[in-house]
Structures are given as C-alpha cells and as structure tokens.
Structure 1
Amino acid sequence: MATFFDGMKKSFADVPLNDGKVDTASFLEAAESLVKLFDLLGSSAFAVVQKDMTGNISKVRKKLLADPAGAGTLQDLVLSEAGTKDKAATQGLLWLSRGLEFTSKAMRETVSNPESELTKTFTDAYTKTLSQYHGVLVKPVFKLAMKACPYRKDFFAKLGEDQSKVATQLETWLEALENIVKIIIDFFASGNYGKGL
C-alpha cells in the first residue's frame, strides 16, 4: 500500500548534505513535495500557506537556474547575494525556511502528542514559529487555517492505509526536515543574513 511519503518526488531524508551544506536542487524538490502535505489538510484556508511557500520556492529556483555554480548549495546562494542589492532568493529562502520550521513543529507536536487534535498542535506550532513574523493582517488568516485542520484520524488516514509504515516514514522525513531547518536557520543567524528581509 502506497503512502503519501511513497509519492513524494523527494524526501528531506534524500537531500544531500556536503560538509553541512544543503544541496539547493534537492532541497527545492523536497520542499515542493512538502507543500502537497497541505492538500491533505483539505481546507482552502491553507491555500495562503501553500501559495506563500510555492512563491518562495520559485524565488530560490530562479536564482539556482540563473547561477547554478554560485547557488549549488543554500549557503552558497545566500553568500552570493550577501554583498548585493538584489537579495530576492535570500529573502525567499528565509521565508521558506520559516514556513518549513512551522510545518516541522506542527508535525512534531502532532507526533509527540497523540491525544491532541491537529487544531491544537498546528496552532501551538504557529504560535512558536511564524506568528512572531506576521502582522495584524496576516495573523487572522493563519489562525483561521489552523482552526480548519481536519480531525487527526482523518489526516493520518490520508497519509496512508498502513499506519505503522506511515509512522516510520513520517519520523524519518520529519527528523531530516528538522535537521535541515536547523542548519538553514543557524546559518542565517551566524551572519545575520536575514537582516531587513
């Protein structure tokens, strides 16, 4: 029985890390596969989350296509824009990593609290991550999306019929996602590359 994870173009677990540097092309494929996770949440309220993440993926991909050598890893991409006025890809990566951090926290809260419904785990994750960057116009949109989460059992059923396989794949994917998000966020912090973005 195929699961949601079997259908992914690329899992975060398959993204190469060379000396702690994240391969840009593989990372983008894994991020695109993650965006499809929001389809399983089944609410149009999540369209804003998907649109935001997809837009940021496009900014990073545009830079990769324009400068494959300079943007081969996420760290190189940021460094290639560091001294320039055009930081579109860096900004895209910063916001994409924030969206990924929210998703990883939401899924970790969901896995760690099997008695909690998604409305709670996703709201808790939003409060701990994205809400600090959102203004008064955006917060209500995201809060509405969190309230529109499906029941836990329905969401997990959509991930796949074989729940033990789903649990194993989810944990592998989630650990890799958490690791990559930490690498990116730590890198941004190390050089204050997100300043003003």
Structure 2
Amino acid sequence: MSDASSTWFDGLERNFVDVEKQPGIDTKHFIEASRSLVTLFDLLGSTTFGTVISDMNGNIKKINDRYTAAPDRSQTLQSLVHEEHKELGKKANATEGLMWLLRGFEFTSKALRHNVSNPDEELATSFQESYNGTLKQYHNFVVKGIFSVALKATPYRKDFYEKLGSEKARVDEQSVAWLTALEEITTIMQKEYTDNKNFGF
C-alpha cells in the first residue's frame, strides 16, 4: 500500500468490480482479478493457507495457458469452457481448473460474507462454517486434516481487517463491493457448469 490511507483493494491488479461481464465474463480480466484474490490469503497467512494458494495459482495457470494458446476461442470464460470441452472433452484442463477455482472462490466468498454479516464473529469460525458447506464434500481424510489445522490458525478478525486498511469505513465499503462482484461472477459460472453436465467433471 502506497500511503496510510490506501487499502488492500487499491493495490489490486484488477478488482472483481472491474471485470467485464457482457456479453460474457472477460477471461483476461478474470485471470487478473483471480491473481489478486490469491494475495488475500497472504494476509490470512501464506504458510497457513499454502495449500489453498498453491491450488488456486495452479488452476489460474491452467486457465491462462488455454487463453494464451487459443485467445480467439477464449475471450470469455463461457467461450473458453465450451470451445475447450468441444475440442478436448474430459482432457479439458482449463475447464476443469476453472471448476475447482470456482469452488475455492465459493469457499472464500461465503466465509467473508458470513464474517461481514456477523461483526462479532472471528474469521476462524466463518471459514470453518464455509468449509463445511463448500469444499469439505470434495476432500479426502488427509486434505480435511490439512484444512482443519489451517482454519484454526486463521488470524484474529481485528488483525486481518487492519491489514486491509486503516480507514474502516472505506475498507467496509470496498469489501462489500468486491465481495458482491466475486459472488456474482462465481454464481454465473457455476450455473454454466450446472447447465452443461456433459463437461463430465
């Protein structure tokens, strides 16, 4: 952050608020905003959430690799997944990577939404609640154990929000706008997968 009044949101490569959504979700914008989201876990504890960071970065790379390889067929996320699946079927790495990235985003957004809506609740509680309702169903015993340890090590609410910025009113306003945009994009793309079960993942 460049000065005392700056917030974490001010320094993002791209805010989800600024991701173009018509006629589809702009792939390049989405990749940039996704890379920015991953840095949020540095504030939560890069060691604690190392598995999450590594997983999200790996899935973002799969999407970016496809975008780079076939930009004319990947301008929007919708065109990317349909064109890649048509071409490669179940070997469509970016389509599968995006699916897992969206699951991670749902986990993140539900935890933060719960925390914003419950100002007296600690982050560990919000993230555990979200994990139970999102990622847990996809994880085996070992991964569940890793997440259990990570979630317990989540920083205190007060410390985390101070890292987002010193001006509470501004941080609160930006948090809600960013979170709402993230939720909207996640919902749009999850519906794309629900409506196209032939993706087969």
**Per the shorter chain, which TM-score range?**
over 0.9
Shift of 1:82: 2.0
Runs of 4+ in 1 over 4 A off after TM superposition: none
1:44 aligns with 2:56: no
More helix by share: 2
Which of 52, 59, 63 lines up with 1:60 in the alignment? 63
1:15 aligns with 2:19: yes
Give unmatched runs, 5+ long, in structure 2.
none
**TM-score, reference length from structure 1:** 0.96
Distance 1:181 1:72, change over 3 A: same
Shift of 1:134: 1.0
The residue that corresponds to 2:95 in the other structure is 90
Q: CA RMSD in A?
A: 1.0
Identical residues among aligned pairs (%): 46
* Distance in 1, Cα, partners of 2:174 & 2:94: 30
**TM-score, reference length from structure 2:** 0.94
AA in 2 matched with 1:119? A
Shift of 1:140: 0.9
Instruction: Assess if the C-alpha contact under 8 Å between 1:106 and 1:121 holds in 2.
Output: yes
Matches of residues 18-167 of structure 1 in structure 2 within 5 Å? 18-19=22-23, 21-42=24-45, 44-83=47-86, 84-85=88-89, 86-167=91-172
* Distance in 2, Cα, partners of 1:132 & 1:145: 17
Instruction: Assess if the C-alpha contact under 8 Å between 1:110 and 1:118 holds in 2.
Output: yes
- Deviation sequence 1:2-50 (CA, Å, 0-9, x none): 000001010100000113x111000010000000000111251201000
Distance 1:89 1:2, change over 3 A: same
